[in-house]
Chains A and B, each alone.
Chain A
Amino acid sequence: EVQLQQSGPEVGRPGSSVKISCKASGYTFTDYVMNWVKQSPGQGLEWIGWIDPEYGSTDYAEKFKKKATLTADTSSNTAYIQLSSLTSEDTATYFCARSGWYFDFWGPGTMVTVSS
């Protein structure tokens, strides 16, 4: 059974960084790309970017290029997103989602709250 297990909620101070994890199980981690999606409170879905765990290659939406860093650890089948220079605009739920092409499995989401 495919599962994506995400780390727990985070509270970050303005200007700091947070790192969220997404541990994959039930499939070969390197066979699929991992995407990250942002959902601000009461808002829609925004694609942040993806990482190919096999090669470590990444692609980002323009607005997230200086905000997010995607990495993957094939030894632990875990993908990560680091969010830097936090502002109130980063308060949101962040989802990881597996894709070959479409997003067939999603993690439960990790809520990030930026607060001083």
Chain B
Amino acid sequence: DTGVSQNPRHKITKRGQNVTFRCDPISEHNRLYWYRQTLGQGPEFLTYFQNEAQLEKSRLLSDRFSAERPKGSFSTLEIQRTEQGDSAMYLCASSLRDRETFGSGTRLTVV
């Protein structure tokens, strides 16, 4: 058990470019969550999966955002046509029955 792994740790991109982040959850965990955190705020829920099914999406998740978990294991979060307001820490978490375990996040900076 190596915990929740997120890649890359940091990403700098130009406005308008597409970016994709990857999350590898704890292997036996069936639930996987994506959150976004900006400076001085708590994490905000974006979406979550149970196995490969995406069960809930926040209104924060605009049409430019898409998440997948095709085989019920790792997940990707893609942001298309990035905007400066997308700059944030993107956190992934996983759980089985108990509390969510978070990864260290991907810090996105849009310039």
A and B: partners? no
Q: Residues on A close to B: CB < 8 A?
A: none
